[in-house]
Amino acid sequence: MIEPGGDHVFPETVGRTIRQDDAADYRAAADFINREAFDLVCLQHEFGIFGGEAGALVLDLVVRLDAPLVTTLHTVLDRPNAAQRRALDAIIAASARVVVMAGKARDMLIDVYGADPERIDVIAHGIPDVPLASTRAAKERLGFTDRKVILTFGLMSPNKGIETMIDAMPEIVRCAPDALYVVMGATHPILQAEEGEQYRDTLMARVRALGLDDHVVFINRFVDRPELLDHIAMCDVYATPYLAAAQMTSGTLAYSHGMGRPVVSTPYWHAAELLIDGSGVLISFDNPAGFGPAIANLLGDETGRLAMGRKAYAASRPMTWANTARRYAASFRAASRKGRVATGDRMDMPKPIPTIAQTKARPNLPPMSLDHLAAMSDDTGMAQHAVHAIADRRHGYCIDDNARALLLCCGLADGPDAPLVRRLSSTFAAFIQHGWNPDNRRFRNFMSFDRRWLEDAGSEDSHGRTLWALGTYSARAGSPGHARWARELFSEALDGVVAFTSPRAWAFTLLGLAPYCGVYAEDYAAAGLRAELADRLEKLLSAREGPEWTWFENGLSYDNARLPQALIVTGAAMRSANMVEAGLRSLRWLVPMQTAGEGHFRPVGSHGFLMASRNMPQAFDQQPLEACATIAACIAAQRVDPGFSWHAEAERAFAWFLGANDLGIELADVAMGSCRDGLHPDRANENRGAESVLSFLLSLADMQRLNAMNRPAPPQTIAPSTHDTVDV
């Protein structure tokens, strides 16, 4: 765009320019786009960019386009005048998709403009993906060492409320004598054209009158992105004292919030929505005096201020530019001409993108590499933790991981790595045998690197998980001698489970009883315990569930999908339709709880473990264990409920390993067969411990078997999974 009198030098990538007030230029641009046969047009709309009344000249462009149009609305007015309403109505009608940056804007498009909710995408303003850092280094670079800095940035105009902050500074200085308010940004070009620097001069006079010359600094220039980020990095508090509520988005607010800077703001629309979680402070419009105490309190409470900044940083990770780009890509795909049907001279709305389960083509899965599994294992067993991809011997071993490793080996004995698998199976089995404590008839869990057991008995959950491995190995071991060993130890260790109170210990034991009872049907004691534990789980679900809560407990914690999985496989084996339905019902409830609004898998974060009764789960830290459990549960559900999209849900969870997650980070290194330990709000955990690699490899083994099924087979012919074996 070229405004009247403008003379710009654009980069070579610019193929066309439009003079703001020249209607012919808009039509010529549309003809150029059509002639070049572009796949899609993205229009960034803001009042004031385009010529004509309320920017109506841009309609000469959009109505002539052959390609689908995706429009991002930077401003949505709740009370538009007639011209603004006509312009926006026409743009919305011409757009295949409309993007807004806040949920309130979506609501207004629906309520005020009558827009189709199915055509609206909410994609937050993007932010740079930079590490959370102390202010010290940036202050030193910019010459603000030993000052507590408050920053406001943006084109200066009276609606920004700079006066409010200047009037608040005397109280702030009384509490923090080293406080400095930095006002950065040039005067708005329209304002400058009308009255020059009169507004800025008024503000500077106000500073002098209040004796604040040493506490307020004006930086009167446009700054490029690196300089802007440097100034945000050096501020202790970011202030946006805007005077009106009707601001749908603020890039400076998004940037400051995304860099982990505490924000004090009036509740204009964007700020009210962004800071509602407590990652900033909102001061009502009718209380400008509130800025002084709020900022003074933050400057005087370093612990609280830094905690607020960390909360803002964590909350903003889904809004990094890379994640914003992925959401735009999804919107573009939905609007692309491949998803639209031409009807005469108009284009119908895009068809829904089919799920993976609705298409015949399945994504290619990576080959399985056991390199990292072997590297993490020695002649004692599998090491528990790693520093990056190197086994961390300080933390020794645990029976949980060696049980998972034995489960993995159960299904790989006939594969290309059979010699390695047989050797490792013997090692993992020996670790489990050594973990058995006959004195108290419980399995120990943790062992130091020098082979000293660190406890006499592990948790109920670790005992149940070990029984799961033994029950599976007793039915699937390639060696009859190994199978006999597993059966005997399984039977001996099963006795005490009836006294357990952990639902996950019950579930893990049931997952081991499924293959065991399928092979050793004459063990009536085991069959009786299976019925008892399954009945407990089913009753637990019935006692807890309500209209909006279909779960076994009052919160979600770890390995959640194992509970419905245990009911599904046990109910199928016992021919109990009620039990199967209970498992399916709880899994159908869990799946959307673990699905982000953008459609990718979002497991319950470990920060949500043991949370308050029935609160929504936290998003971070995300663990590979949850994806693994969800995949196995969905595969179990697919066998008994093939009409539901369980296959697609399993693929959604597996894609989390490969980058379809909140940060768009690949967690699995498929070449080495390793997996990062989890997803933090701002990064992946680069350590690659046993639980993570086993979760990935178990998931990959499951997905390879699932994708090998060309069509659903009758239940009695389905080959059991290594860790979800069931005979029905």
Place of tokens 């999209």: 645
Pair 329, 310 in one domain: no
18 occurs within a structural domain: no
Residue type, 725: T
Average pLDDT over residues 132-148: 92
358 occurs within a structural domain: no
Contacts of 641 (CB under 8 A, 6+ apart): 584
Phi, psi of 238 (to 5 degrees): -105, 135
Number of domains composing the chain: 3
For residue 364, pLDDT over 80 is answered with no
Kindly state the percentage of the chain with pLDDT values over 90. Answer: 66
206 occurs within a structural domain: yes
Higher pLDDT, 680 or 281: 281
Average pLDDT over residues 107-122: 92
**Nearest 10 degrees: Cα torsion 568, 573, 574, 579:** 10
Given pLDDT bands bounded at 50, 70 and 90, which one contains residue 292?
very high
300 occurs within a structural domain: yes
Pair 548, 518 in one domain: yes
Pair 330, 315 in one domain: no
356 occurs within a structural domain: no
Question: Is residue 166 within 8 Å of residue 158, measured between CB atoms?
Answer: no
Pair 564, 634 in one domain: yes
Pair 478, 561 in one domain: yes
Average pLDDT of the chain to the nearest whole number = 88
| Burial call 133-143: b when 16+ CB within 10 Å, e when fewer | eebeebbeebe
Given pLDDT bands bounded at 50, 70 and 90, which one contains residue 607?
low
Residue type, 570: T
For residue 458, pLDDT over 90 is answered with yes
Pair 517, 637 in one domain: yes
What is the C-alpha to C-alpha distance for residues 387 and 693, in angstroms, rounded to an integer?
13
**Nearest 10 degrees: Cα torsion 520, 522, 523, 529:** 100
728 occurs within a structural domain: no
Write down the pLDDT at residue 326. Answer: 82
Write down the pLDDT at residue 564. Answer: 97
Pair 650, 515 in one domain: yes
Residue type, 393: R
Contacts of 645 (CB under 8 A, 6+ apart): 355, 357, 358
Write down the pLDDT at residue 362. Answer: 43
Pair 282, 412 in one domain: no
Given pLDDT bands bounded at 50, 70 and 90, which one contains residue 323?
confident
What is the C-alpha to C-alpha distance for residues 606 and 624, in angstroms, rounded to an integer?
11
Angle at which helices 624-640 and 646-657 cross, to 10°: 160
Question: Is residue 602 within 8 Å of residue 583, measured between CB atoms?
Answer: no
pLDDT tens digit sequence for 36-89 = 999 999 999 998 899 999 999 999 999 999 999 999 999 999 999 999 999 999
pLDDT tens digit sequence for 662-700 = 888 899 999 999 999 999 888 899 999 999 999 999 999
Range of the domain at 650: 371-717
Question: Is residue 62 within 8 Å of residue 44, measured between CB atoms?
Answer: no
What is the C-alpha to C-alpha distance for residues 132 and 607, in angstroms, rounded to an integer?
19
DSSP track, 135-193? SHHHHHHHT-TT-EEEEEES-B-GGG-HHHHHHHHHHHHHH-TTEEEEEE-PBPHHHHH
Pair 116, 170 in one domain: no
Average pLDDT over residues 437-466: 96
Q: What is the CATH number of the domain that holds 670?
A: 1.50.10.10
Phi, psi of 662 (to 5 degrees): -60, -30
pTM score, two decimals?
0.55
178 occurs within a structural domain: yes
For residue 354, pLDDT over 80 is answered with no
DSSP track, 623-680? -HHHHHHHHHHHHHHHHH-TTS-HHHHHHHHHHHHTT-STT----EETTTTEE-SEE-
Pair 264, 116 in one domain: no
Dihedral sign (CA 205, 207, 211, 217): negative
Pair 291, 408 in one domain: no
Write down the pLDDT at residue 133. Answer: 86
Write down the pLDDT at residue 108. Answer: 92
607 occurs within a structural domain: yes
The H-assigned helical ranges of 301-364 are 302-315, 321-335
Given pLDDT bands bounded at 50, 70 and 90, which one contains residue 617?
low
Q: What is the CATH number of the domain that holds 87?
A: 3.40.50.2000
Write down the pLDDT at residue 388. Answer: 94
Average pLDDT over residues 396-422: 91
Q: Which of 343-357, 477-491, 649-663 has the lowest mean pLDDT?
A: 343-357
Pair 111, 219 in one domain: no
Higher pLDDT, 508 or 325: 508
